[in-house]
Amino acid sequence: MLAECGKTKVLCTVSVQDQVPPWMYNRHAGGWLTAEYAMLPGAGQPRKPRDGRTGRPLDGRSFEIQRLIGRALRCAVDLAALPEVTLWVDCDVLEADGGTRTTSINGALVAIYDALLWMEEQKQLPKWPLRGLVSAVSVGIVGGVPMLDLDYEEDSTAEVDLSVVCAADGRLIEVQGAAEKRPFAMEQFQTMLGLAQGACARIVELQQQALGI
């Protein structure tokens, strides 16, 4: 699944591995879902060295983003309803212009749906495990104005930068972010959350369109 948001492009794939992580062995607690995220070297400016090529196994930003993606998707899937498999979600950024983590979540959800359909066809699913769609968007304050889906230029000058993950009914899954320059008011926070919830609802419609559901 190629997810695009503005100039940002992320290839999202899901692989089903017939094994759960060691800490789940013999627990009969269903399956697991985990995510990996990486930016291709030429996805942004300047060139970003490939993970593992700089002496450090993974840069901190990639690690933080892949944990966010994993948490968001584990909210979408009832893991106890899966057989003993691990769903590996891979998000590889082909082009980065802000919002790569939110675009990853939006695309990964569609890829998960596809993978679950495949598992259903293979008669691997005792019951449909998807609780609902999940979508994400960035929102911030740029030049004093609340703004959705920040591109790189907006992101790098934003006074506040949040990533908001929502369930399809608008309830919040995760809000990640901070004031980049000075503190912001609760009222501004609520304005940003309201904008993000509206955008997430629109993204869910696009996911439904992509899936034909």
Interface pattern 116-155 for ligand UDP (x via CB under 6 A): ----------------------x-------------x--x
Q: Does 63 bind ligand UDP (CB under 6 A)?
A: no
Beta strands at 32-39 and 86-95: parallel, antiparallel or unpaired: parallel
Candidate segments 49-57, 94-102, 115-123, 171-179, binder of ligand UDP by CB under 6 A = 94-102
Candidate segments 9-17, 93-101, 111-119, 122-130, binder of ligand UDP by CB under 6 A = 93-101
Member of 30, 38, 48, 140 binding ligand UDP (CB under 6 A)? 48
Q: Report residue 153 as tokens.
A: 């230029």
- DSSP for 97-119 reads SS-HHHHHHHHHHHHHHHHHHHH
Q: Does 98 bind ligand UDP (CB under 6 A)?
A: yes
What is the chain's length? 213
Q: Smallest distance from the beta carbon of 39 to ligand UDP, in angstroms?
A: 6
Beta strands at 2-5 and 160-167: parallel, antiparallel or unpaired: unpaired
Helix (H) or strand (E) holding 210: helix 186-211
Contact 12, 86 (CB under 8 A): no
List of residues contacting ligand UDP (CB under 6 A): 44-45, 48, 61, 96-101, 138, 152, 155
